[in-house]
Amino acid sequence: MMNRQGRPSAPGTAGRAGAADTVLGHRGLDHEEALIFEQGQEGRTGVDLPPVPAVEGRLGALARKGPIGLPGLSEPQVVRHYVRLSRRNYAIDMGLYPLGSCTMKHNPRLNEKLARLPGFADLHPLAPPSTTAGAVELMATLAHWLKVLTGMPAVALSPKAGAHGELCGIMAIRAAHVAKGEGAVRTRILVPESAHGTNPATAAYCGFKVDPVPATADGRVDLAALKAKLGPDVAAIMLTNPNTCGLFERDIREIADAVHGVGGYFYCDGANFNAIVGRVRPGDLGVDAMHINLHKTFSTPHGGGGPGSGPVVLSAALAPFAPLPWVVETDSGFALVEDAAGQSFGRLTAFHGQMGMYVRALAYMFSHGADGLAQASSDAVLAANYIQARLADVMTAAFDGPCMHEALFDDRFLKDTGVTTLDFAKAMIDEGYHPMTMYFPLVVHGAMLIEPTESESRESLDEFIAVMRRLAEAARAGETERFAGAPHYAPRRRLDETAAARKPVLRWTPPAPAQAAE
């Protein structure tokens, strides 16, 4: 059956027990929704614009020849389209979002209120400095507290994501080696096998050879293997702590000393700072550079919910190479340094970074205070350990002992059930949960990485645990039909993820114009 837009109705709903096809493919109060371009009609508009005055075109051959192709829609059509789509999305504002390593925690509304103050929200990056003193002071204040919380002497605020922060840190490290005349010999960066994919990608992007360091059976960096790899060509190590197995690297000081011993730098991936903020200062661990995901630890929105921000704290050795701009305090107040010569490796991005995220992060810090931040990281660790402990008898924890902020399971508990980690994750969608991170870290077979964060109440954790227990029991009991082909209740069924990755359709092509009726 085809719907109004000539698409199969209710795609993927076959197999839902007892559900008859509906007339237009809508299900319950969820609408089958065509692309906005398919809904558009020429000449329809939500605004009444004055006629275009006759002007002399000065674009010459550059003038557009065809229509721009924007869909013509009324205001209610646009509003309905996006509201309908938003109902298909999952968000931290809808429920527990256990996506490990992503720290999907609540974004306090106080942060949003402050970021919307006109003095911040309406700021233009080219506004005269005499009118932006307050914003620059806010940047200085945020920088100050990031330095205090990390125990580091300098911070570059401008990187716009964690991965961008990695780029900043590795560029500073490269600049430091070049300044010492060792740019040509420092060609190798050590990256543990459990690292986030952005770490080796950053090292390779900056022209370094990526040398993987194996993990021990207890999920930590193999110190002996690491030491065996050290040499005069090592530029740096990129290490995550707590690592992506959700474990604290016990040998972190020894690792830092060993890398420093051969003249290398210690880049710490600080994306998991949420587990230790207010309790451990990375500067005390021998770190030279570390990005902080404001959109994780400091609760600014993520992904589709807003731009990220990944400031990088730097040790005294790397501080001179920090990118422009930075904030200084002068006799007449705070100012942005935008064109200092010196040893800075230059500019990483246009303008000054994500101002709205700076406001939100500082609001989060100030509303929590020192005690609140330490409480948040403790609660994040407690919540993960609660999940790990309550699921220990039905699922299989990847490593013995307590975890930090995320609980990591492998797929041994699914052995001989015919259910895979992927099936299990898809079945969680039917139960109303976004799946956990799966098949990452790569060092754990069929990995399921669950990060509940401190946002969840005891009741919310208990509900999630009840669902996970029931699913694990169903898999063991041979109830394979609820897993094979899951999700059954989502607007779309199981997608062909390989085809989506290998042959993505990234461009909408308009259908051929319909033939006029005879």
Ligand X SMILES: *Cc1c(COP(=O)(O)O)cnc(C)c1O
Write the DSSP symbol of residue 171: H
| Minimum distance, C-beta of residue 436 to ligand X, in the bound complex (Å) | 13
- Asked whether the beta carbons of 263 and 182 are under 8 A apart, the reply is yes
Write the DSSP symbol of residue 17: T
Residue nearest to ligand X (CB): 162
Position 293 contacts ligand X (CB under 6 A): yes
Q: Report the amino acid identity of residue 125.
A: P
Distance of alpha carbon 467 from alpha carbon 251, whole angstroms: 37
Position 240 contacts ligand X (CB under 6 A): yes
Position 150 contacts ligand X (CB under 6 A): no
User: x/- site string to ligand X, residues 60 to 89, per CB under 6 A?
Assistant: ------------------------------
Task: Please state, as a whole number, how many other Cβ atoms lie within 10 Å of the Cβ of residue 58.
Answer: 7
Residue ranges in 249-288 that form contacts with ligand X under rule CB under 6 A: 269, 271-272
Distance of alpha carbon 310 from alpha carbon 12, whole angstroms: 39
Question: Of the two residues 142 and 486, which places its CB atom closer to ligand X in the complex?
Answer: 142
Q: Could you give the dihedral angle defined by the CA atoms of residues 195, 487, 413 and 392, in that order, rounded to the nearest 10 degrees?
A: 80
Tell which one of 169, 219, 310, 356 touches ligand X (CB under 6 A).
310
Tell which one of 161, 258, 404, 419 touches ligand X (CB under 6 A).
161
User: x/- site string to ligand X, residues 429 to 448, per CB under 6 A?
Assistant: --------------------
| Minimum distance, C-beta of residue 17 to ligand X, in the bound complex (Å) | 39
| Minimum distance, C-beta of residue 207 to ligand X, in the bound complex (Å) | 20
Residue with tokens 């740096």: 236
Position 98 contacts ligand X (CB under 6 A): no
Q: Report the amino acid identity of residue 386.
A: Y
Tell which one of 107, 132, 244, 385 touches ligand X (CB under 6 A).
244
Sheet with 407-410, side-by-side order of all strands: 396-397, 407-410, 448-450, 437-438
Q: How many helices (H) and strands (E) does the chain have?
A: 13, 13
Distance of alpha carbon 420 from alpha carbon 411, whole angstroms: 7
Position 101 contacts ligand X (CB under 6 A): yes
Ordered alpha helix ranges (H), 19-74: 36-39
| Minimum distance, C-beta of residue 76 to ligand X, in the bound complex (Å) | 36
| Minimum distance, C-beta of residue 382 to ligand X, in the bound complex (Å) | 20
Position 297 contacts ligand X (CB under 6 A): no
| Minimum distance, C-beta of residue 309 to ligand X, in the bound complex (Å) | 8
Secondary structure (DSSP) of 188-243: EEEEETTS-THHHHHHHHTTPEEEEEPBPTTSSB-HHHHHHH--TTEEEEEEESS-
Position 170 contacts ligand X (CB under 6 A): no
SS3 155: strand
Part of the chain binding ligand X (CB under 6 A), chosen from 161-169, 205-213, 432-440, 482-490: 161-169
Half-sphere exposure of 28 (CA within 13 A, CB side): 9
Tell which one of 111, 132, 198, 344 touches ligand X (CB under 6 A).
198
Question: Of the two residues 268 and 363, which places its CB atom closer to ligand X in the complex?
Answer: 268
Part of the chain binding ligand X (CB under 6 A), chosen from 30-38, 39-47, 156-164, 334-342: 156-164
Position 158 contacts ligand X (CB under 6 A): no
Secondary structure (DSSP) of 305-353: GS-----EEE-TTTGGGPPBPEEEEETTEEEEE----TT---BSSSTTS
Position 168 contacts ligand X (CB under 6 A): no
- Asked whether the beta carbons of 494 and 427 are under 8 A apart, the reply is no
| Minimum distance, C-beta of residue 159 to ligand X, in the bound complex (Å) | 9
Write the DSSP symbol of residue 408: E
Tell which one of 25, 98, 159, 162 touches ligand X (CB under 6 A).
162
| Minimum distance, C-beta of residue 98 to ligand X, in the bound complex (Å) | 14
| Minimum distance, C-beta of residue 127 to ligand X, in the bound complex (Å) | 27
Question: Of the two residues 103 and 385, which places its CB atom closer to ligand X in the complex?
Answer: 103
Number of residues in contact with ligand X under rule CB under 6 A = 15
Task: Please state, as a whole number, how many other Cβ atoms lie within 10 Å of the Cβ of residue 235.
Answer: 27
| Minimum distance, C-beta of residue 422 to ligand X, in the bound complex (Å) | 21
Question: Of the two residues 269 and 411, which places its CB atom closer to ligand X in the complex?
Answer: 269
Q: Which residues bind ligand X (CB under 6 A)?
A: 101-102, 161-163, 196, 198, 240, 244, 269, 271-272, 293, 308, 310
